Chains A and B, each alone.
Chain A
Amino acid sequence: MIEKELVIIGAGPAGLSAAIEASKANVDVLLIDENQKAGGQLFKQIHKFFGSSAHYSGVRGIDIGKELIQKCEDLGVEIWLDSVVIGVFPNKQIAVEKKGKGLKTIRAKKIIIATGASEKVINFEGWTLPGVMGAGAAQTMTNVHRILPGKKVLMIGTGNVGLIVSYQLIQAGAEIVGLVDTASKVSGYEVHSAKIEREGVPLYLDHTIFKAQGTKEKGVTGAVIVEVNKHFQPIKGTEKEIDVDVVAIAAGLKPLSELANMANCKKTYISKLGGWVPLHNENMESTEKGIYVVGDTTGVEEANTALEEGRLAGVDVAAKLKKLSNSESENIKKQINKRLKDLRLGPFGEDRLKAKKKLIKEYNKYIKAQRPVNDYNTGPKAVIECNQEIPCNPCESACKFGAITIGEPITNQPKLDEEKCIGCGLCLHKCPGLAIFLVDKNYDNKNSTVSFPYEFSDLPQEGEMVEALNRKGEYLCEAKVLKIKKLESFDKTPIVTILVPKKYADQARNLSPIGAD
């Protein structure tokens, strides 16, 4: 088993920036990516990025990618490319097919999942014909492989991907014969749309693609688009036939969170973020402690937010591994969060900001609903209320599990080791002072139980209702008698167990029959 402090899965902008931040703090980082090159989607982005100067604004995606990779190399980050993580298992174990070396298993102290997103699709008659492809596919072919997918392209979808890829296809020499969207207005930034509109690209809003047509030998050769009404139903008679050799589908992206899901990270559905997204807190930690989710994996936004989320996670991991002081990490995080807030402004950003806030809220709701491990049903524990130094130590020998210690001299006050205490209650009747109680704080969601010795003649019956009293004999509440234990070995000291609301667990120490004086 290979041991690593931090394994980052995915070397896109989020993964790379997480690696940089963690490496700067001397965390031992392994960065894994299934592609032959690091950089994720950055290498298709030949356009200049938006945002502030901290986000490389005005710089082309491909150049940002090169810079991030260079920084990683300078910091000596170990990178495995062409290596596929096939699973993330309990105890933060990772199985990865390393290029040329077969299957490796790694145990990580912390994991950051930065696996990005994949294109959504829409289906229509003829959508499986060769030549019908995702907009991202058209972009990859054009900008990475330098192959023009076709000469006449119909683009479906006017989100930023549809608009940007249309522009890039025009730059590469294709004609966009139409830009289609069922919405009444362009979904992406107006400035992107303006760039292609001034190239004369016809905009078909309130339209959808009815079918793609073609042959088995050539693939797609034409498409039929149709106007839709306000219920997005096609309006008969408005069909338009267009000659195309490529239909590009820009239907949005959805997070790729399989690894987070199989590692039991909880998720929720938020349509603004692309669909089902893993929950995370302000530090990008998922509901599984030590596993972080960043970038498009946890909400489709942009490369600049991915960069920042990656940084957040990298810094938090360094702090949790004690490689960065709390004050240092809080300071850096503050700056990152300010930048993230700035990126989520304006009519486009606001929706995403709201969505992210909702996501963090759901995370907090989930965590609160889980019982913290050390409170969960630990069973009854002894509570010793003996606070004076008196020479007495039967409790020490009463406990067969070594949970009570007095030692020498025997005037020492008894010390209880809760871990060793199994709640058997044997000490209760052995204590001459009747000063030991048994309390089960989390008996159920609402109640606790309190057990105590009761040496009076009005001993109640099991199932009876009694009055629970505090240390001063004052009435607390009505309580049900759950159990009466009377054993020979108890030497005439019965042990009574009553059920009280949780808030009285530390107060209820006696009972009296209902209505007694």
Chain B
Amino acid sequence: MKDNVIICRCEEITLGEIKSEIKKGARSVTDIKRRTRAGMGLCQGRSCEILIQRIICEELNLSPEEVYPANDRAPVRPIKFNILGAELNEKV
């Protein structure tokens, strides 16, 4: 697989960039996320997290159980600021 193949579609992070961070010491999906922004784009890792996990397994000879997914936090779907920050209207 050529190093210039895109892994994170949203942020356009390549295989080469991810491998390079692993060589520099990245060990987890969260490490890769923080160093490259892979998984931080609009889809929030929905496409690439599984690819990043596979790459870490291959590069570091780990099994999938040992590569934890990134943490999930609110909002789990995109939401506009003006909705999030608006006054709560409890009248359903």
Contact = CB atoms under 8 A, between A and B. Distances in A.
Interface of A: 1-2, 34, 84-87, 89, 95, 97-98, 101-105, 118, 120-125, 127-128, 254, 258-259, 261-262, 268-269, 271, 275-276
Contacts of B42: none
Contact of A269 (B7, B64, B73, B74): B64
A34 B77 contact: yes
Contacts of B72: 258-259, 261-262
Interface in B42-92: 46-48, 50-51, 64-65, 69, 71-77, 79, 83-84, 86, 88-90, 92
A286 B72 CA distance: 17
A261 B44 CA distance: 15
Nearest to A261: B72
Given A101-B92, A102-B86, 16 more contacts: A86-B77, A87-B75, A89-B74, A95-B75, A98-B92, A101-B89, A103-B88, A104-B92, A123-B1, A124-B1, A124-B5, A125-B2, A127-B5, A127-B6, A261-B69, A262-B72
Nearest to A270: B65
B80 to A, nearest CB: 9
28 contacts: A1-B90, A2-B90, A2-B92, A84-B77, A85-B76, A86-B74, A86-B77, A87-B76, A97-B83, A101-B89, A102-B83, A102-B86, A102-B89, A103-B86, A120-B50, A121-B50, A121-B51, A123-B1, A123-B15, A123-B51, A124-B1, A125-B1, A128-B6, A128-B9, A261-B69, A261-B72, A262-B71, A275-B64
Contacts of A259: 72, 76
A503 B70 CA distance: 42
Interface centre among A104, A122, A127, A258 (most CB of B within 10 A): A258
Contacts of A123: 1, 5-7, 15, 51
A275 B48 CA distance: 14
A321 to B, nearest CB: 22
A36 to B, nearest CB: 15
Contacts of A2: 90, 92
Contacts, number: 81
Contacts of A124: 1, 5
A276 B1 contact: no
A269 B65 contact: yes
Contact of A105 (B46, B71, B75, B88): B88
Contact of B88 (A104, A127, A271): A104
A2 B91 CA distance: 9
A34 B79 CA distance: 12
Contacts of B86: 102-103
Nearest to A89: B74
Contacts of A275: 50, 64
A330 to B, nearest CB: 34
4 A-B pairs with least C-beta separation: A87-B74, A86-B75, A258-B72, A261-B72
Contacts of B77: 34, 84-86
Given A1-B90, A97-B83, A103-B83, A258 B50 contact: no
B12 to A, nearest CB: 9
Given A102-B86, A118-B46, A128-B6, A97 B79 contact: yes
Nearest to A134: B47
A262 B76 contact: yes
A98 B88 CA distance: 12
Contacts of A276: 69
Contact of B47 (A86, A121, A261, A268): A121
Contacts of B64: 269, 271, 275
A258 B6 CA distance: 24
B79 A84 contact: yes
Contacts of B69: 261, 276
B14 to A, nearest CB: 10
B32 to A, nearest CB: 15
